[in-house]
Structure 1
Amino acid sequence: MSTLQQVAFRAGCSVATASRVLNRNGPVSDEMVRRVRRAAAELGYRGGGRTGNGRPAIGVLIPSVTNPVFAASLSSIQNRAFHAGHSVLIAQSNYDPAQEPDAVASLLHQQPTGLILTVCDPERSMALSSALPPTVLLGNLPTSRFTAAVATDNFAAGRDLTNHLLCKGHRRILFISGHFAASDRAKLRYLGYIRAMEAAGQRPLDTLEISFVSSLEQLDLSDVVARSNPTAIIASNDLLALGVMGALRRQGLSIPRDISVAGFDGISLGLLTEVSLTTVEIPDGTMGAAAASLLLDMAENAAPPRHLTVPYRLRVGGSVRDLAVQS
């Protein structure tokens, strides 16, 4: 079994410097970080934290373990990590920026090989303000400090979905979202909606923000529907879109005859409703696997961080009515 002394010798540095790099507890140049990590990988040195099964671990932070989107990502991360000899440590923030620092600290306490993080807003997250091991942002855009990220173009997805509704003759389109402070993905989708509406010469309706973790079975849209009189509603994710569909039906409204509904993510539940949900499919499983592969390459092979953009696809369902077609 290799030792820290052997890693330091191969990297051409002192044992103290090698220790600082591998334990992330002191200032070291980027070049030295790469040399020490490469030496550790070549020698098979695994001096970091291990889980109870003796494997090194990857730390993963997600907003919610109950959202199928993140469940799909986690499954792919675990599969990729398992084949690389790693376990996965999981923490959740409950879509609360204030919970992120403690969640990340709990992961760091177990000295993971690296981190895969989905934060509410990478530009404002306090969890990203301290020194971290190799880190990949999942679903978030990269920042100046954390340039490794795997995401889709949520702005373009919001624009394209809105254009789809506009092409179907809809002009009064309401955007319903979780709180934008809890998800930069939702905010980017909303900005894409704004861009498409303005480009079409249409006035965007006032958006409705609700909690991502609220009970959707109790969602009441009667006031906003009466006030805005939309012909279509875009929800910032599919779970919310399904909640919107339930709320509209409780009002006695028919989908899509009275109001059309569309969402984002492409979760399988959207195919099991009375009318299938029109949505933007985002390959969350593919993104999770890509994030895990990128992280392991950075941590074990000193590979440079990269920003990977994963394509999305519009999935047309029965939840959107074509107003240009006379009934």
Structure 2
Amino acid sequence: MATLEDVAKKAGCSIATASRALGARGPVSDGVKGRVRKAAAELGYRHGTAGPGRGGRRPLIGVLIPSITNPVFAASLSQIQNRMQVGGHAVVLAQSNYDPAQEADAIEALLSERPTGLILTLCNAEHSVPQADRLPPTVLLNNLPTSIFPAAVTVDNREAGRLITRQLIDHGHRRILFVSGNFAASDRAFLRFEGYQSALAAAGVDSLPALQIPFIGSYEQLDISIAVAEHRPTAIIASNDLLACGVIGALRRQGLSVPQDVSVAGFDGIAMGQLMTPPLTTIEMPDSSMGAVAASLLLDMAERGAAPRHLQVGFTLKPGGTVRSV
């Protein structure tokens, strides 16, 4: 029995394009549509009897994210799904839970679905991926490109870290503590920390050692009292907004007020931080648009043979009420 893969091969197009030409949603030119339908007729393929895709399945792409509970990745995923629906692809999801060991298993699970492409947010893109030699077209999301993964959609996390630190310096802060998840679990957090160090060095101010805590788990009982007592910071930068909210809660449990006693800033620009009182000072990342751009880049590579590219998206500093001048 002929499959959609056979039809696509005969028509000289991708499986997703063949699926769209035979009835799935999404744009297809009249010329391609006629060629696909002619190939289907010649092969005796009936669309819908076994379902579109490889071996009778709808084509799909795999997405790996660190955690579905973080609104940052949920926003990107939503746009990836929207773009792939228009492109005639299903989406299958896996999580690494910020664990490099789990990451390899998650990628293996995605490969078992025989995806036409992958969008990956890795703990550290510089570390080897065991399956690298058998991956389909792949786009990194939030990780800088590497020799193995030249296609990536990113923001300049190092510059974002420098900018938010400069904002605090301009408000008179000199004892600034950087609180982060484990750097081994997020190269994005480490790049933000490097930006923090760069801004302080340029201002002739010594940086403090980063306080690293696990990403996974509840921030409701976060305890930073030892670091606060040791370093007496006037400001704290958290490596993401969720952690910044946890830091604010921890400071309040110590009887400290934000920003009167300690200023706090974060990264991402999630709604939670903007709805709190006072609103969080943060770097707003374009998470939704990054997901859409990554999906479009992957479709260009997988369907049209486009060359891998590194696309960098801008970010915005959003001053809030959690930072005051000293």
TM-score normalised by L of structure 2? 0.85
Which structure 1 segments of 5+ residues have no match?
12-17, 19-38
User: Which residue number corresponds to residue 18 of structure 2?
Assistant: none
8 A Cα contact 2:4 2:55, kept in partner:
no
* 1:49 and 1:113 in contact (8 A); partners too: no
Instruction: Indicate yes or no: 2:247 matched with 1:244.
Output: yes
Q: Show the counterpart of 1:103.
A: 106
CA separation of 1:145/1:285 partners in 2, compared to 1, >3 Å: closer, same or farther?
same
Q: Distance in 1 between matches of 2:70 and 2:296?
A: 23
Q: 1:113 deviation in Å?
A: 1.2
Distance, in Å, in 2 between the alignment partners of 1:218 and 1:98 is: 26
Which of residues 7, 10, 25 in structure 1 aligns to 2:9?
7
Partner residue, 2:54: 48
Cα gap change, 1:125 to 1:6, in 2 (>3 Å): closer
How far, CA to CA, are the matches of 2:189 and 2:8 in structure 1? Answer: 48
Report what 1:156 is aligned to. 159
Q: 1:223 to 1:9 in 2, by over 3 A?
A: closer
User: Aligned with 2:174: secondary structure?
Assistant: coil
User: How far 1:273 sits from its partner (Å)?
Assistant: 1.3
1:2, 1:66 → 2: CA distance?
A: 36
Contact 1:120 1:182 (8 Å CA) reproduced = yes
Quote the offset at 1:280 in angstroms. 0.2
What is the DSSP-based 3-state SS (H/G/I as helix, E as strand, rest coil) of the residue aligned with 1:242?
Answer: helix
Moved over 2 A (4+): 1-11, 42-50, 125-130
CA distance in 1, matches of 2:191, 2:285: 14
Cα distance, 1:55 vs. partner? 2.3
User: How far did residue 131 of structure 1 move?
Assistant: 1.8
Q: Equivalent residue for 1:32?
A: none
Post-superposition shift, 1:159? Answer: 0.4
CA drift of 1:128 comes to 5.5
1:87–1:2 Cα change, 3 Å: closer
Contact 2:66 2:96 in 1 (8 A): yes
The one-letter amino acid of 2:210's match is: T
Conserved in 1, the CA contact under 8 Å of 2:176 and 2:235? yes
2:187 to 184, 189, 193: 184
Deviation of residue 43 (structure 1)?
5.0
Corresponding residue for residue 88 of structure 1: 91
8 Å Cα contact 1:97-1:125 kept in structure 2: no
* Closer/same/farther in 2, CA of residues 267 and 211 from structure 1, 3 Å limit: same
User: What is the alpha-carbon root mean square deviation over aligned residues?
Assistant: 2.1
> Which consecutive unaligned segments of at least 5 residues does structure 2 have?
15-31, 40-51
Match 1:269 to one of 259, 269, 272: 272
Q: Is the 8 A contact 1:49 1:112 kept in 2?
A: no
TM-score, length basis structure 1: 0.85
Q: Secondary structure at the match of 2:180?
A: strand
CA distance, structure 1, for counterparts of residue 231 and residue 304 of structure 2: 54
Superposition map of 1:1-327 within 5 A: 4=6, 7=9, 48=54, 54-127=57-130, 129-323=132-326
Aligned length: 292
Give the aligned residue type for 2:152: A
Percent same amino acid at aligned positions?
60
Q: CA deviation at 1:271?
A: 1.1
Deviations 1:104-144 (A, max 9, x none): 11111011110000000011142563320000000000001
Q: Structure 1 CA distance, aligned partners of 2:70 and 2:308? A: 28
Deviations 1:139-167 (A, max 9, x none): 00000121110000000000011001000
Distance in 2 (CA, whole Å) between partners of 1:84 and 1:106 is 23
